[in-house]
Amino acid sequence: MSPPKVVIAGAGPAGLMAAEVLARGGARVTVHDRMPSPARRLLMAGRGGLNLTHSEPFEALAGRYGARTGRLAPLLRAFTPGDLRAWADGLGQDTFVGSSGRVFPRALKASPLLRAWLARLDALGVELSLRSAWAGWDADGRPRFRGPDGVETGVEADALLLALGGATEARV
């Protein structure tokens, strides 16, 4: 039996993290994104030092989610701020806790972290298909993507994971 083929729509941090986890689990992964480069918002966030997480105790962190704390606490426990710091360290990107309690990469920028992450994904066999926007499903139920030329094609996949991110506010 061949490993499952998973297609991810969205090459932001959520899509890239899903790709890493799935590839480590043995899946063949292709990540599509409509933009010409992955994790563009991560790079933009890195202009301000790239606050990765917070060093506060778990209860305080979970409490920030108000009425949803009960639902989200198990998810937050599954990947803690300490886990995030260890993940960054595994990419060769040491972190530190600032005076505000926020956690930053020592480089204070996103680009070294992203380069190391993309290299790891490449080593895991993750493929990137950029300028490829999710366009729904084709008549056979396959995920459909629109390339830069406007042509839409269906792709074979055992699963589609949508990591489309949030809507960007229109600039006025």
Query: Is the per-residue pLDDT at 1 higher than 90?
Result: no
Report d(CA 97, CA 54) in Å as an integer: 8
State the pTM of this model. Answer: 0.91
Each residue of 13-23: pLDDT tens digit? 999 999 999 99
Mean pLDDT of 31-37: 96
53-54/95-97 β-pairing:
unpaired
3.90.870.30, 3.50.50.60, 3.40.309.10, 2.30.40.10: CATH of 1-50+110-167: 3.50.50.60
Q: Which residue has the higher pLDDT, 41 or 158?
A: 158
* Annotated domain spans of the chain: 1-50+110-167, 52-107
Query: Is the per-residue pLDDT at 171 higher than 60?
Result: no
With cut-offs at 50, 70 and 90, classify the pLDDT of residue 41: confident
Each residue of 68-101: pLDDT tens digit? 999 999 999 999 999 999 999 999 999 999 999 9
Closest CA to 11 of 41, 47, 46: 41
Q: Which helix (H) or strand (E) holds 86?
A: helix 81-90
Residue matched to tokens 């979970």 = 62
Amino acid 167: pLDDT:
65
> Is 166 exposed, middle or buried, given 0-12, 13-18 or 19+ CB atoms closer than 10 A?
exposed
What is the rounded radius of gyration, in angstroms, for the C-alpha atoms of the chain?
18
Report d(CA 84, CA 93) in Å as an integer: 11
How much of the chain exceeds pLDDT 90, in percent? 89
